[in-house]
Amino acid sequence: MKVKSKLADIDFEFGHFEYKKDHLIVHSHASQSMQSKVYVSPDDIVAAAACAIKNPKVILYLLGFPYFLMRYRKRKREREEAKRST
C-alpha cells in the first residue's frame, strides 16, 4: 500500500494484526525501515463502510476487483521482467 501525504510518501507493507481494547492494530512488516502501527477503531470501520457504500466508484472497483487484480499483477510482472532484461 502506498501512503502519500505532504509529510511523506511511504510504502506500507502489512505485517501482523493485533486486537487490543476494541481496536484493530495493523503493524507494518518487519522488513520496513520505518516501523509503524495503524490503530483502527470500530467507528473507523463504520465511517469507512458508510463512505464506501455512498461512493459508486468504490462499488465499481469492488465489482471489477478480479480484473483489476489480474491486470495489476500482469503489469507488475512485465515491469520486473523488463528491469531484469536491462
Mean per-residue pLDDT over the chain, rounded:
90
pLDDT of 11 reads 81
Alpha carbon distances (Å) from 65 to 12, 14, 57, 59, 78: 20, 19, 12, 10, 20
pLDDT at residue 8 is higher than 80: no
Annotated domain spans of the chain? 1-53, 55-86
85 pLDDT band, cuts 50/70/90, is confident
Per-residue pLDDT, 3: 78
